[in-house]
Amino acid sequence: MELSVYTIKGEDTGRKVTLNDSVFAIEPNDHAIWLDVKQYQANGRQGTHKSKERSEMSGSTRKLGKQKGGGGARRGDINSPVLVGGARVFGPKPRDYSFKLNKKVKDLARKSALSYKASDNAIIVVEDFSFEAPKTKDFVTLANNLKLADKKSLFVLAEVNKNVYLSARNLARVQVVTISELNTYKVLEAGSVVLTESSIAGIENILNA
């Protein structure tokens, strides 16, 4: 698959890059995508939820009513789960939601997500760029030149560029990541994926390793 390379002014450079079919044109595996997105979201959960059980409640342990003959459910002290304000039965406890996913499955999921974007013509290639200073205005101009002003976009850089990252940080619909930070969730969430020219080889090397 060949794509034209654009400048940050949105002009065609006349050069083309060839995307590796083994990364950008595979038969997408939806189950691998689901597993990878599930792991990403699970790893982001704090898991600090907690409710008090009966032994943790404060209150008198005196039995409030007789065992039988009251016409309702039997209950003991005021901490009984039967009563309003009582303890909770089998309530949530702090836990770790993260789980392991094999590297091959994660790679397959990222390839599948990139293949979906490629088939939807949602991948744009720009020549490598940088800013002299962090300026949100410069990044907004770049997005407008690439006709991405109203879209969620993911910019993928070959390596960390502080000025580019800081320039995009205040934009709600833009994310900037390096190739090592690229994941399935972010690719699918973006309306368009913008790859810098030098990032393509890095992505293909990582996913074909």
CA 63, CA 74: separation in Å to the nearest integer? 10
pLDDT of residue 150: 82
Whether the per-residue pLDDT at 64 is higher than 90: the answer is no
Q: Which two tokens stand for residue 28?
A: 């997408």
At residue 106, the pLDDT reads 95
pLDDT digits (tens, 9 = 90+) for 104-158: 999 999 999 999 999 999 999 999 999 999 999 999 999 999 999 888 999 999 9
* 92 band by pLDDT with thresholds 50, 70 and 90: very high
Report the run of H or E that residue 123 belongs to, with start and end.
Answer: strand 123-126
pLDDT tens digits along 25-45? 999 999 999 999 999 999 999
97, 42 in Cβ contact below 8 A? yes
Edge-first strand order for the sheet with 174-178 is 12-18, 2-6, 123-126, 192-196, 153-157, 174-178
Cβ(48)–Cβ(122) under 8 Å? no
**Alpha-carbon gap, residue 110 to 139, rounded angstroms:** 26
177/160 Cα distance (integer angstroms): 8
* Residue 3 bridge partners (DSSP): 17
In the chain, CATH 3.40.1370.10 covers 2-46+99-207
**What average pLDDT does this structure show over 62-82?**
87
pLDDT of residue 35: 97
DSSP H/E element including 5: strand 2-6
The pTM of this model reads 0.82
Q: What is the pLDDT of residues 158-185, one digit of tens each?
A: 999 999 999 999 999 999 999 999 999 9
Whole-number average pLDDT of the chain: 92
Question: 2-46+99-207: which CATH architecture?
Answer: 3-Layer(aba) Sandwich (3.40)
H/E element, 164: helix 162-168
Between 70 and 34, whose confidence is greater? Answer: 34
